[in-house]
Amino acid sequence: MNHGEIIESHHRLREQLDLAAYASYAAELTDKALQEDESGSFLFEQFHASLTGLEEGKDAQIISHLYEMRILEAAGYAPELDFCVNCGNEQGPMRLSPYAGGALCPRCTGQDPHAIKVGEGAFKLLRLFRRMDLRRLGAIQVKPETKQELKKAMRALMDAHLGIPLKSRSFLDQLDKYNI
Ligand SMILES: [Zn+2]
């Protein structure tokens, strides 16, 4: 048995580890983003809602992306996803450019050669995440491929704007590696 198989064979522990890892990631983000004495703020409420959602067994990855979006907003880096940030065009397929500040339309992708290809389904969800209050998240079914795209997109946004090495995220990555 390799490490992965051993952890895989302990499902309950594995589930709890996952939840703890996501909760600790949310806590670490909150810690970086909140100024002192903001315990009554919108962001703090969203953090609270993240933990409640995890406890209720809602999709942990989706919760963490929603919360990452709140953190980006709080830090002043909310991406513009409804139209092209360069020309205002609303016609896709859009690419995501963290450095340009959001969506780039087909005419403008040249502005950022590193702009990320995001499928239409994932893009719709990103737009939804921008608007959705975490307290209102219900059960949501997202295809694994779409989740992979969401992860890539959110990670690029977080890395471009916050650029903080997060201990809890490395732990999540480690767990992910054993999840195959
Ligand atoms: Zn454009």
pLDDT at 45: 93
Closest CA to 21 of 177, 130, 137, 145: 177
Is residue 29 a contact partner of residue 63, using CB atoms and an 8 Å limit?
no
pTM recorded for the entire structure: 0.89
Q: Which two tokens stand for residue 103?
A: 């969506």
The type of residue at 106 is P
Q: Which two tokens stand for residue 26?
A: 């949310």
Domain ranges of the chain: 14-177
Q: Looking at the domain covering 14-177, what would its CATH class be?
A: mainly alpha
Q: Helix (H, G, I), strand (E, B), or coil: what is residue 48?
A: helix
pLDDT tens figures, 127-164:
999 999 999 998 889 999 999 999 999 999 999 988 77
Compute, in angstroms, the gap from residue 108 CA to the centroid of ligand 1.
Answer: 4
Compute, in angstroms, the gap from residue 123 CA to the centroid of ligand 1.
Answer: 16
More confident residue, 68 or 174: 68
pLDDT at 179: 63
Q: Helix (H, G, I), strand (E, B), or coil: what is residue 59?
A: coil
Q: In percent, how much of the chain has pLDDT > 90?
A: 66
Compute, in angstroms, the gap from residue 79 CA to the centroid of ligand 1.
Answer: 15
pLDDT tens figures, 11-53:
888 888 889 999 999 999 988 877 776 777 889 999 999 999 9
pLDDT at 180: 43
Compute, in angstroms, the gap from residue 156 CA to the centroid of ligand 1.
Answer: 20
- Give residue 1's pLDDT band: very low, low, confident or very high (50, 70, 90): low
Q: Please list, in sequence order, all residues whose beta carbon lies within 8 angstroms of the beta carbon of residue 79, skipping any fewer than 6 positions away.
A: 72, 96, 98, 101, 102, 103, 126, 130, 157
Compute, in angstroms, the gap from residue 86 CA to the centroid of ligand 1.
Answer: 5
pLDDT at 93: 93
Residue 175 reports pLDDT greater than 60: yes
Is residue 143 a contact partner of residue 112, using CB atoms and an 8 Å limit?
no
Q: Helix (H, G, I), strand (E, B), or coil: what is residue 95?
A: strand
Compute, in angstroms, the gap from residue 100 CA to the centroid of ligand 1.
Answer: 11
